[in-house]
Amino acid sequence: MTYLAQDIRSARMAVERVLDGIGLRAYVYTVAPREHGWTLRLEYPVRHGWREATLAVDPGELRASLDDARVHRRLCSKWGRHLRAHPRSQ
């Protein structure tokens, strides 16, 4: 599948809204299309440095989160659980 620059801009906007929604204020990330969806690679601060997490992202769900509050909350919950499974402090 070919992705347009607008798809990538929308994906970045949606990712940033979800990360803000789960309370991350400092982070570095990339979101990139893959053969079967998108991959989010995220680095975020922990007490003694930075931690990295990788999440598979459904492009349709990510796009929908920009306009649908329920989808946005669902992604916040799902990503938040993933990051809590990889605690910020050691």
Strand partners, 51: 44
Asked whether residue 40 is assigned to any structural domain, the reply reads yes
Q: Which pTM was predicted?
A: 0.86
Per-residue pLDDT of the chain (90 residues; tens, 9 = 90+): 566 778 889 999 999 999 999 999 899 999 999 888 899 999 998 788 899 999 999 999 999 999 999 999 999 999 999 988 765 443
On whether residue 13 sits in a domain, the answer given is yes
Note the pLDDT of residue 1: 55
Domain containing 80: what range? 5-85
- Give the chain's domain count: 1
Provide the CATH number for the domain around residue 32.
3.30.160
CA–CA distance, 52 with 70 (Å, rounded to integer): 27
Is residue 90 in some structural domain? no
| Torsion, Cα of 74, 80, 81, 87 (10° steps) | 180
